[in-house]
Amino acid sequence: MLVIAHRGASGYRPEHTPAAYRLAAAQGADYLEPDLVATLDGVLVCRHENEISGTTNVAGHPVFADRKLTKIVDGTAVTGWFVEDFTYAELRTLRTLERMPGLRASNTAYDGLEEIPTFDDVVALARRETLRLGRPIGVIPEIKYPTYFRRLGLPLEELLTERILALGLRDDEVMVQSFEPTSLRRRSVMTRVPLVQLVDSESAPNDFLRTGDGRTYADLIEPAGLREISTYAHVLAPHKDLVIPRTATGALGEPTRLVDQAHRAGLAVQVWTFRAERRFLPTGIDFPTELTRFAALGIQGLFADHPDQAVAALRKPALNL
């Protein structure tokens, strides 16, 4: 059972920071998950959104005040400062902030301390921690907004492939994720690294919406859709509600057949995202119980904000996982 550190150990440190990735490795994570967007000059950096006012101190830099804009990102109007409007040198002048200060107040002690890391930085960190800890730690980057960035002349698939080859990443060191099937199909002919099809619990992939493809995420997890995914990807990564839905009271309901159907299509299954705070938990159970309910379905991995708690829950000898 793989424990994937969602944006690093983001339950304990501001997400997508070196501190979050280092702590995740120390806590036993098998993979570090950097979300990737591109700067104006084509450097891949780790942010969950390309709009950075919520996770950096950009608003406090008067020199960048005129770069505050409103853009349409994947069909939604977003106002703020965008990674693609900054060179990497400019971005390095910013410092990171906790995304959810009201919920994770202790994380704010680390506000303003670190720069935004690049993909190369995370690979180097994972390799250092692999040597230090004596166990393999991989990276599982997610390509964010690939259709959007391609229209800007910043093709994330090619930029990532260039870095994977330049860094000499082996297939057992890296997996690549995307919500957009078109993006993964492009990646599938560039290198042989394992690919992960992310699936949300509602709506449709943005590339489908852009091209008028009428299929939704729900269509992708039908048996025919899973068979199609297996022609270019190795892993299905569904939202956890697609695996065990919540009832009207917020409790865990009965599992769906998705895990078994994905396995029959030849796909491994990695489920997202598990967070230990009470507001994210199903009614009536604690975090370890939630994790073990999902693990019992035979999934191959899960994404967690609190890797230490996931490791503790999933690697007890009695679980035989």
**Residue-wise pLDDT tens digits, 111-141:** 999 999 999 999 999 999 999 999 999 999 9
Q: How far apart, in whole angstroms, are the C-alpha atoms of residue 314 and residue 292?
A: 7
pLDDT at 315: 80
What's the pTM value of the predicted model, to 2 decimals?
0.96
8 Å CB contact between 307 and 24: yes
Stretches where the chain sits below pLDDT 70 are 316-321
Residue 252 is given by DSSP the state B
Taking residue 206's Cβ as centre, other Cβ atoms within 10 Å add up to 19
The Cα–Cα gap between 154 and 149 comes to: 5
Beta bridge pairs of residue 78: 71
What's the pLDDT score for residue 319? 36
Helix, strand, coil % over all residues of the chain, rounded to 5: 40, 20, 45
- How many Cα atoms are found within 13 Å in the side-chain-facing hemisphere of 226? 20
User: For residue 64, which amino acid is it?
Assistant: F
Tokens of 187: 């990646």
Q: What is the pLDDT of residue 195?
A: 98
* 51/40 Cα distance (integer angstroms): 13
Strand order in the sheet with 235-238: 44-46, 35-38, 142-143, 176-178, 195-199, 235-238, 268-274, 301-304, 2-6, 31-33, 138-139
